[in-house]
Structure 1
Amino acid sequence: MAPPPLDILLAAPRGFCAGVDRAVQIVERALARFGAPVYVRHEIVHNRFVVEGLRRRGAVFVEELDEIPDRTRPVVFSAHGVPKSVPETAERLGLFSLDATCPLVTKVHRAAESHHERGRHVLLIGHTGHPEVIGTMGQLPEGAVTLVTSVEDVARITPPDGPLAYTTQTTLSVDDTAAIVAALEARFPDIAGPHRQDICYATTNRQEAVKAVAPRVQAMIVVGAPNSSNSQRLREVAEREGCRAVLLQRAADIDWADFEGVDRLGITAGASAPEILVEEMIEAFAARREVRVETVVTAEETVVFNLPKGLRDPAPDAAREE
């Protein structure tokens, strides 16, 4: 007896955000313009499929700049941002660098610097050891930032006397962060915050889409990497809505026993997961069952970030003049 049809609800928005798309384009265009190898400090984005694809085209990933043997080659800084010491080191070593930091992460960096210049100690809401957190803390002198990871941390921290400000990692859970901010404002009523939340539009939109899909399905797949903060938050959001959720990198990772008896399945993807991996998931289920796909749209995204000047296409007029 054939299994019943499987209804797949696709969350939208999902997958690549403007910051990730820009970062990947920077590496691709650097390879096209300068040839291989192009060095990349840290994973350009947290997705093995993307990283391996760029590696096959000539990108070489390193953790530190002193690992680069040929200093005539370009080096790209990842989308997560880097401490100030990294571009300073690149300049000292004579490296030509391209900064793929997401502009929304750069905005957090500038806000932290502004608070510091105004004499405020900065409380950074984020996850210990995440590259974005390391990069943001590295914008200011040591000791100028205190990391806050949870509501419980708010009661434990002992910031220096004087004015305070907070900022946040861009890929956090919207709900968790709101709780931490509320706790900070309760303990430190005069704390300064951002004019608008630092959690990026794409993180917020993807979490809202999951909230719309999760109550309608029996299980949800989040396509993404285990070291991707925004992907892990999507899984947590689905679970908070009462839905069983798993984080998978590829269709080959599917444990089919987990989906026995599931007739309504949700699928989303973290901001660093390309759409081809979502299609791969759907095809894997379609090979076993009749699938009916519905897209649940909760927001339209039109944000596009400019590439660095050295990598942009020439303007049409300039092209004609040539």
Structure 2
Amino acid sequence: MTNSPLTILLCGPRGFCAGVDRAIQIVVLALKRYGAPVYVRHEIVHNRYVVEGLEAKGAIFVEELDEIPVEHRQQPVVFSAHGVPKSVPADAETRNLFYLDATCPLVSKVHKQAMRHERLGRHVVLIGHAGHPEVIGTMGQLPEGAVSLIETVEDAERYEPADPDNLGFVTQTTLSVQDTAAVIAKLQERFPNLTAPSADSICYATTNRQEAVSAAAPGCDLFIIVGAPNSSNSRRLVEVAKRAGAKDAILVQRAAELDFDAIGEIRTLGLSAGASAPEVVVNEIIEAFRARFDATVELAETAIENEHFLVNRQLRDVELTVDDMAFVNGR
């Protein structure tokens, strides 16, 4: 029996962004320079494949700095790509820890925008998801009470600031562009003097991946997003695919999670990956479909990314092997 034909629309851009690539590279370079163990506060990026790969190389992940044994305090600790509150590096210095900050430069830019609003006397409105590490990190750049978190249009409708004429907003970098625009529009309708940040807070990679998925989704029987359940930008891609016309969309971490009985007979599959998902898993999923369908892969590309962020100065002269680079690049 011949397999049914299947067209796989493979989105581009997809997968690792420059900030994720930089964060993973920092951990690998630190292991090369300082030896194991290298401690990492929280998941360096939201992807178990990446975390487990780094653990195999000698990284140890901790939730808080007090978990680092006294005898290992000369070893570096890396702060994740999502950013941390100011209290975390202060705590590291109190403990005489050597730390390397892997915060994505685009997240750092949001921190600076928020601090600028506050310096100019504005109360900061942060559009984002409560509990997300990036939101915790951004709110932690300013004194308690200086930031109000708005998650939805309904929140924006209910929000009652102390001084409606002195507000400035920033956003989490990984939000849905469409949903965020609706929240901002509601805030601007209610508070005409609301000041925008000097540059768009939603990062280029988030925007590019959403645009590619939106373009590919119409007519897809199923859209698969490779990513972790705790990855904000990956979950947003599932929402974008459904909104743009895919009959169904799911989030998958590995090919082993695919339920082909539930998937059934499909003719067009959309496929993309969140900014912290490695290309090796995308290829794994393509091969799983090729084993069951007569699959043809077509590239659905809407942009080309060539951004590159420098690693910490202490690590720039460390050389990586070919295998190291393949891991850093998610391949």
Does the pair score TM above 0.5? yes
Residue 3 of structure 1 deviates from its aligned partner by: 2.9
Residue 195 of structure 1 deviates from its aligned partner by: 2.6
Q: Following superposition of structure 1 onto structure 2, how do residues 1-322 of structure 1 map, counting pairs within 5 Å?
A: 1-69=1-69, 70-161=72-163, 163-243=166-246, 244-313=248-317
How far apart are the structure 2 equivalents of 1:84 and 1:147?
Answer: 18
Residue 241 of structure 1 deviates from its aligned partner by: 1.3
Residue 50 of structure 1 deviates from its aligned partner by: 0.2
Residue 314 of structure 1 deviates from its aligned partner by: 7.2
Pairwise CA RMSD: 1.1
Q: Is contact 2:234–2:273 with CA below 8 Å preserved after alignment?
A: yes
When the two structures are superposed, what TM-score results if normalisation uses the length of structure 1? 0.96
Percent of paired sites with the same residue = 63
Code of the residue aligned with 1:111 in structure 2: it is Q
How far apart are the structure 2 equivalents of 1:216 and 1:303?
Answer: 31
Cα deviations across residues 197-220 of structure 1 (Å, max 9, x unaligned)?
100000000000001110032111
How far apart are the structure 1 equivalents of 2:222 and 2:275?
Answer: 20
Cα deviations across residues 203-247 of structure 1 (Å, max 9, x unaligned)?
000000001110032111000000000000000000111211000
Task: Tell me the secondary structure at the aligned position of residue 196 of structure 1.
Answer: coil
Q: Which deviates more, 289-298 or 79-88?
A: 289-298
How far apart are the structure 1 equivalents of 2:44 and 2:289?
Answer: 30
Cα deviations across residues 164-206 of structure 1 (Å, max 9, x unaligned)?
1000000000000000000010000001011321000000000
| Unaligned ranges ≥5, structure 2 | 320-331
Residue 309 of structure 1 deviates from its aligned partner by: 0.3
How far apart are the structure 2 equivalents of 1:157 and 1:166?
Answer: 13
How far apart are the structure 2 equivalents of 1:284 and 1:18?
Answer: 28
Code of the residue aligned with 1:291 in structure 2: it is A
Code of the residue aligned with 2:56 in structure 1: it is R
How far apart are the structure 2 equivalents of 1:136 and 1:82?
Answer: 7
When the two structures are superposed, what TM-score results if normalisation uses the length of structure 2? 0.94
How far apart are the structure 1 equivalents of 2:156 and 2:292?
Answer: 49
Q: Which deviates more, 112-121 or 155-164?
A: 155-164
Code of the residue aligned with 1:282 in structure 2: it is I
How far apart are the structure 1 equivalents of 2:318 and 2:150?
Answer: 44
Residue 258 of structure 1 deviates from its aligned partner by: 2.9
